[in-house]
Structure 1
Amino acid sequence: MTNTTDTQSGGCQCGAVRFRAGKLGRPSICHCRMCQKQFGNFFAAFVTADPAHVEWTRGQPSWFRSSRKVHRGFCNKCGTPLAYRFEGSLELAIGALDHPELFEPLIQVNHAHRLPWIDHLFDKPAYSTPAMTEFHESVVSWQHPDHDTTEWPPEDEA
């Protein structure tokens, strides 16, 4: 895992919202149903962040109040989940960071609420076909790159 004092950048899929964050802390995954719904996935992956060291450098997240105590930040243009805010604390979505590989989760939160088959998920065989490979190689991504840009989308692709 990276030194948590290093500043990290990240943002949404379309590039409308970007951020820089220092003093990142504990990476985790959460199995609660609200996190599953926010991410549309089996669990959510977050890293704790000091709100005083998070700067929204392009745009701002929209916030959905998912419970009496929790607000969930997302891009209102592309829907990317970005953050979790609770009583003055902030956590950032690991997948929204430009270098998510640096933040291996250290704990699982709400483990008792995990999906019943999650413990065996990665025992499943990997699957690939030449047609799948050919398709993925033919995709031209319009996703924002994993680094800061001065403008997005580029003028010639807008």
Structure 2
Amino acid sequence: MSLPNKPVYTGGCQCGAVRFRIEGALTSVSICHCRMCQKAFGAFYAPLATAPENGLVWTRGEPKRYRSSNHVLRGFCAECGTPLTYEAPDGIALAIGAFDDPASVAPTKQWGIEAKLPYVDDLAPLSSERTESDGAAPFLADLKSFQHPDHDTESWPPKDRT
């Protein structure tokens, strides 16, 4: 008997100290505009994808957690601060930006619109430039990223980080 194919997702924090693997379909992919999510992510909203029950495994390290309410824990990397989880009685959601392929995890719903910032819907038409086009930041010309790559590695960080 063959097992059905399951989608597999991987991801982790910016520094690579925490990595995860999800097997199975994501059960909810959304963004939340509530003020608590804005503060937890330091952003306009929190993009989150809920892992299937028993489908999440921490493959390197584990998030540190902060209790943001009587029902919710917020997981983040204790080394680099990357927001990673929203853990509630109905499941664990992971930050879409922490997935190795975030483009494959598209939101289908918005929550917490009572706190939606008034300019969020007006962002798309703003002038857009590539990172390296920022003439006010000449340091970008020789920038060397120490960010963990968007795939699993046997060990991290590499020895040469100069």
Give me the TM-score of the superposition, normalised by structure 2: 0.88
Deviations 1:10-37 (A, max 9, x none): 0000000001012222211000011101
Structure 2 counterpart of 1:9, one-letter code: T
Query: In the comparison of the two structures, how many residue pairs are matched?
Result: 155
The equivalent of 1:152 in structure 2 is 156
Runs (5+) with no aligned partner, structure 1: none
Q: Distance in 2 between matches of 1:117 and 1:69?
A: 30
Cα offset, 1:136, TM superposition = 3.1
Distance 1:46 1:63 in 2: 16
For structure 2, the residue ranges without an aligned partner over 5 or more in a row are none
Equivalent in 106, 120, 123 of residue 122 of structure 2 = 120
TM-score, normalising length: structure 1 = 0.90
Which residue identity does 1:111 align to in structure 2? I
SS at match of 2:140: helix
The answer for the alignment partner of 2:140 in structure 1 is 136
Q: Provide the rounded CA distance (Å) in 2 between the counterparts of 1:134 and 1:56.
A: 38
- CA distance in 1 between counterparts of 2:84 and 2:49 reads 11
User: Are 1:7 and 2:8 an aligned pair?
Assistant: yes
Distance in 2, Cα, partners of 1:126 & 1:66: 35
In the TM superposition, residue 146 of structure 1 has moved relative to its aligned partner by 0.3
User: RMSD over aligned Cα, in angstroms?
Assistant: 2.0
- Residue 126 (structure 1) shift: 2.0
User: In the superposition, relative to structure 1, how do residues 57 and 130 fare at CA in structure 2: closer, same or farther (>3 Å)?
Assistant: closer
Secondary structure at the aligned position of 2:123 is classed as helix
Instruction: Give the distance between the partners of 2:12 and 2:67, measured in 1 at CA.
Output: 20
Other-structure match for 1:56: 58
Instruction: Pick the structure with more helix per residue.
Output: 1
Q: Given the superposition, is the C-alpha separation of residues 30 and 130 from structure 1 closer, same or farther in structure 2, using an over 3 Å criterion?
A: closer
Q: Mapping of 1:2-151 within 5 angstroms?
A: 5-23=6-24, 24-127=26-129, 129=133, 131=135, 135-151=139-155
Identical aligned residues as a percent? 47
CA distance in 2, matches of 1:107, 1:130: 33
The CA deviation at 1:130 is: 5.9
Supply the distance in 1 between the matched residues of 2:129 and 2:146 (Cα, whole angstroms): 26
1:101 CA drift (Å): 0.4
The SS at the match of 1:136 is helix
